[in-house]
Amino acid sequence: MKPLHVCSLLLWLAYVPVCLAQEAVVSGSVFDQHDARLAGANISLKGTYEGVSADSLGNFVFHTETLGPQTLLVSLVGYQTAELPVLIQPTAPATLTVRLREAANELNTVTVSGSSFIISDSKRMVLMKPLDILTTPGANADIVAALQTLPGTTKVGETEGLFVRGGAGTETRTFLDDALVANPFYSGGPDVAQRSRFSSAGLLFKGTSFGKGGFSAQYGQALSAMVALETQDTDPMPGTTLALNTGGVALTSAKETGKFSYWQNTYYTNMALLFQLIPQNINWQRAPEYLGTNFLMRYRPNSRSILKLYGMVSGNRSALSWRDTARLDPQMARYQIGNTYYMGSVNYRATFGADNGWVLKALASYSNNVDDLNLTGTLAGRSDELWQSKVLVSRSLGELSSLLVGTETQHYAYTNRYAQFNRAIAYQYVATFAEADWFLTNRLAMKAGLRYEYTSLNRQASVSPRFTLAYKTGPYSQISGSAGRFLQLPNNLYLISNPTLNTEQAWHLMANYERTHNKRSMRVELYQKQYAQLVTERVAAYDANPYRYPTAATTNGGFGYARGLDLFFKDAQSLKQLEWWVSYSLLDTRRLFANYLAEAVPTFVSKHNANVVVKYTVPGANLTIGANYVWASGRPYYSPTFQAYETPAFNSMSLNASYLTRLWGHFTVLYASADNVLGIRNVYSYRFTADGTQPVPVIPGAYRSVFAGLSVSLSNKSK
């Protein structure tokens, strides 16, 4: 089926006759047990997608065509969900007062989630809230940077990506409303890590799932980990907000009118001024510049379905001089890049059946990424294009169990250009999957899934089983274990040279214990990954340059393993107004892959990684301050003869602060952050020159950086 036909089909599915109906008004206020108003609570009618979020004073109001006796659901992270009977009539507006009880964090039933950190999911343990992503020190509101404070991740500062449990950054895939995002990061120059494209979206996402292994069979082509982002069904902060900072300006607006609502964010960033104020280790010829917009439109044809249209258009450009270690002479090479990115998706979701026990999800998406390069006068570039469609149907089986089946298709095309040479690949990818959550008792549950995949490029069909078993050991704790097979196609540059390469694979095996009670969370996890069919190059010497173009013959003769221990503890109870968490990871891994001459520890791996995050709200001062300390043991690097060395340990302390106030009557947030405040001269890695005599350090773009700005709500003004 052609992509255009898929989009047309989904739009047709979303169209249903809408009869003229009377509307009623539901309004009220949300309080805690001590009569304090609760902002941001989610209010909805049970069995529908109608609802709204409470404002900063805990008040809410929405219109509905669903009349008669209904059940109102009111939920907020950290509180027990309330269900209130309400009679909705067009002639008598319903006005309610809702009081939420603080959650004791007791799980009535066991949770089956493999090795996933679920962020803002009321049915799972809450280890991070969406606001944590915006306020984590050192993250600068970047989703990926905030996730790097969790265990199992390695700090790799010279390139973008989420490096999880010995896996490369490309082994972690990102999904937006169930659609694969082929290019989740901005494009940039060598040794300059880029931010996530979704960092500007802020509170657009109601939930983020970070799966470090053992994740659902509905997600494929992720060898190590996955990050699933889910957009809001309603606008949490309607109105218009203007943000000004030392890097640029952004305008965000949201509005809801009847069955239609929209959200948009437009931004412009230019780092030239900031780079002039802060000493740089990079010879910038043109400071990075970003311009883009992303939007989300929602339409509710009726009370049991919702249609979402998401779009993003962005561009960025920069130029720098860098030391190309492939050259024997000491001259600097020029690297200039201009990137253009487009993405659009249509997502339809509906419940049906007499008991609303059936759920249908259907989506279609398209993305196109183009990088135009100028490499010291030689024109080059790369581009990729992804069409995909996906349909999922789930059915509740009793009160707790469920069954999920689905299928997806992708059409992917990639082109690499250098001077007058063009190399390209294109292929179709098809997958079908089924998964069941089965609660044997309230204390014992299992998740079993199976995923079938076929790729036209190498004509390979594969089946991946996945299984998780969880047992509730007490009122606040549980143990679980999971195992599964995970697959991913090799790097595009390998597939261009050898399209018959097999899919790389990894078997995951893990066991964990977790406990959540009284605003404290703890998790301990052991894991083992076994790699097979990794791509290897037949070379006589090792080249550490990650930007090289592989020309040697390739095979699937590689293999490896990764095993370790993850620890996580979070406490928001012991000291009033203080929230903190600590994470630690122990990693033992080796692999034979790429142009490695023997099985060895990858250069992107640290054996020990630790994070300590502290956030404190000053009582009565509307001021929140935070600190984040990161420590990682040294990473290995290799000479052309593959002699091993190790970098010094990585240390960094980051601080941030935010202050709530009003400017000329408008609600305003002032914020500032500073990274590596101690000015430690960290070294990410070393790369040897082509003759093997001189190691060249890979260092941060700046040893210390600061950032400041303000966010002003233009819609809310007090007299």
Q: What are phi and psi of 330, to 5 degrees?
A: -85, 5
Asked whether residue 464 falls in the same domain as residue 360, the answer is yes
Start-to-end C-alpha separation, the chain? 58
Question: What does the alpha-carbon distance between residue 550 and residue 626 come to, in Å, rounded to a whole number?
Answer: 44
Check whether 454 has a pLDDT greater than 70: yes
Q: Considering its fold, how many domains does the chain have in total? A: 2
Strand (E) or helix (H) holding 146: helix 143-147
**pLDDT at residue number 75:** 84
> Which positions ≥6 away from 621 have C-beta within 8 Å?
none
**pLDDT at residue number 124:** 41
Highest mean pLDDT out of 5-14, 186-195, 231-240: 186-195
Check whether 1 has a pLDDT greater than 70: no
Question: What does the alpha-carbon distance between residue 343 and residue 366 come to, in Å, rounded to a whole number?
Answer: 6
Asked whether residue 472 falls in the same domain as residue 584, the answer is yes
Question: What does the alpha-carbon distance between residue 165 and residue 507 come to, in Å, rounded to a whole number?
Answer: 13
Name the residue among 55, 51, 103, 57 with its Cα closest to residue 73: 51
Asked whether residue 151 falls in the same domain as residue 72, the answer is no
What is Dmax (Cα atoms) for the chain?
85
Check whether 250 has a pLDDT greater than 80: yes
Q: Which of residues 31, 65, 99 is at a domain's end? A: 99
CATH of the domain at 55: 2.60.40.1120
On whether residue 108 sits in a domain, the answer given is no
On whether residue 109 sits in a domain, the answer given is no
Q: Which of the pair, 641 or 24, is modelled with greater confidence?
A: 641
User: Do residues 509 and 527 touch, judged by C-beta distance below 8 A?
Assistant: yes
How many angstroms from the chain centroid is the CA of residue 406?
A: 22
Name the residue among 630, 668, 662 with its Cα closest to residue 649: 630
User: Do residues 694 and 701 touch, judged by C-beta distance below 8 A?
Assistant: no
Asked whether residue 65 falls in the same domain as residue 142, the answer is no
Q: Within 10 Å of residue 539's Cβ, how many Cβ atoms?
A: 15
Residue 205 token pair = 């996402």
Mean pLDDT value across residues 354-358: 83
On whether residue 106 sits in a domain, the answer given is no
**pLDDT at residue number 35:** 77
CA-CA-CA-CA dihedral for 630, 632, 638, 644, to nearest 10 = 160
Question: What does the alpha-carbon distance between residue 167 and residue 602 come to, in Å, rounded to a whole number?
Answer: 9
Mean pLDDT value across residues 479-507: 96
**Size of the chain in residues:** 719
Lowest mean pLDDT among 131-140, 188-197, 226-235, 695-704: 131-140
Residue 423 token pair = 């190399």
Q: Any idea what DSSP says for residue 184? A: -
Q: Which of the pair, 378 or 19, is modelled with greater confidence?
A: 378
pLDDT confidence band for 120 (50 / 70 / 90): very low
State which amino acid sits at residue 542. Answer: Y
Reported as a single tens digit per residue, the pLDDT across 310-349 is: 999 999 999 999 877 766 555 678 999 999 999 999 999 9
User: Do residues 318 and 335 touch, judged by C-beta distance below 8 A?
Assistant: no
CATH of the domain at 613: 2.40.170.20
On whether residue 238 sits in a domain, the answer given is yes
Mean pLDDT value across residues 499-525: 94
Reported as a single tens digit per residue, the pLDDT across 200-234 is: 776 788 778 888 988 999 999 999 999 999 898 88
Q: Any idea what DSSP says for residue 490? A: P
pLDDT confidence band for 126 (50 / 70 / 90): very low
On whether residue 107 sits in a domain, the answer given is no
Task: Report the SS3 class of residue 118.
Answer: strand
**pLDDT at residue number 111:** 58
User: Do residues 590 and 605 touch, judged by C-beta distance below 8 A?
Assistant: no
Q: Which of residues 68, 99, 130 is at a domain's end? A: 99
Question: What does the alpha-carbon distance between residue 120 and residue 139 come to, in Å, rounded to a whole number?
Answer: 18
Asked whether residue 142 falls in the same domain as residue 49, the answer is no
Question: What does the alpha-carbon distance between residue 217 and residue 404 come to, in Å, rounded to a whole number?
Answer: 10
C-alpha pair distances (Å), 108 with each of 30, 104, 123, 474, 685: 24, 11, 10, 10, 48
Burial of 325 (0-12, 13-18, 19+ CB in 10 A): buried
**pLDDT at residue number 21:** 42
Question: What does the alpha-carbon distance between residue 331 and residue 576 come to, in Å, rounded to a whole number?
Answer: 57
**pLDDT at residue number 322:** 84
411: which strand partners? 387, 428
DSSP for 535-556, written as a single string: EEE--SS----TT----S-EEE
On whether residue 111 sits in a domain, the answer given is no
**pLDDT at residue number 41:** 84
Reported as a single tens digit per residue, the pLDDT across 161-179 is: 999 999 999 999 999 999 9
Reported as a single tens digit per residue, the pLDDT across 597-648 is: 999 999 999 999 999 999 999 988 889 999 999 999 999 999 999 999 999 9
**pLDDT at residue number 201:** 74
Q: Within 10 Å of residue 700's Cβ, how many Cβ atoms?
A: 24
On whether residue 104 sits in a domain, the answer given is no
User: Do residues 283 and 328 touch, judged by C-beta distance below 8 A?
Assistant: no
Asked whether residue 518 falls in the same domain as residue 593, the answer is yes
Check whether 12 has a pLDDT greater than 50: no
Check whether 123 has a pLDDT greater than 50: no
Q: Which of residues 38, 73, 99 is at a domain's end? A: 99
Domain containing residue 679: 116-717
Asked whether residue 62 falls in the same domain as residue 185, the answer is no
How many angstroms from the chain centroid is the CA of residue 576?
A: 30
Asked whether residue 282 falls in the same domain as residue 144, the answer is yes
Question: What does the alpha-carbon distance between residue 88 and residue 531 come to, in Å, rounded to a whole number?
Answer: 58
Asked whether residue 92 falls in the same domain as residue 120, the answer is no
Reported as a single tens digit per residue, the pLDDT across 264-273 is: 999 999 999 9
**pLDDT at residue number 485:** 98
396: which strand partners? 402
- The chain-wide mean pLDDT, for the chain, equals 88
383: which strand partners? 370, 415
Percent of the chain beyond pLDDT 70?
90
Burial of 518 (0-12, 13-18, 19+ CB in 10 A): middle
User: Do residues 626 and 136 touch, judged by C-beta distance below 8 A?
Assistant: yes
Mean pLDDT value across residues 407-416: 98
Question: What does the alpha-carbon distance between residue 431 and residue 454 come to, in Å, rounded to a whole number?
Answer: 6
Asked whether residue 315 falls in the same domain as residue 416, the answer is yes
Asked whether residue 160 falls in the same domain as residue 76, the answer is no
pLDDT confidence band for 78 (50 / 70 / 90): low
**pLDDT at residue number 5:** 42
Mean pLDDT value across residues 421-431: 96
Task: Report the SS3 class of residue 637.
Answer: strand
Q: How many CA atoms lie within 13 A of 641 on its CB side?
A: 4
Asked whether residue 455 falls in the same domain as residue 501, the answer is yes
**pLDDT at residue number 4:** 41
C-alpha pair distances (Å), 508 with each of 222, 528, 622: 12, 6, 45
Q: Within 10 Å of residue 57's Cβ, how many Cβ atoms?
A: 11
CA-CA-CA-CA dihedral for 631, 611, 584, 119, to nearest 10 = -150
On whether residue 143 sits in a domain, the answer given is yes
Check whether 37 has a pLDDT greater than 80: yes
User: Is the Cα dihedral 82, 86, 88, 92 positive or negative?
Assistant: negative
Q: How many CA atoms lie within 13 A of 21 on its CB side?
A: 16
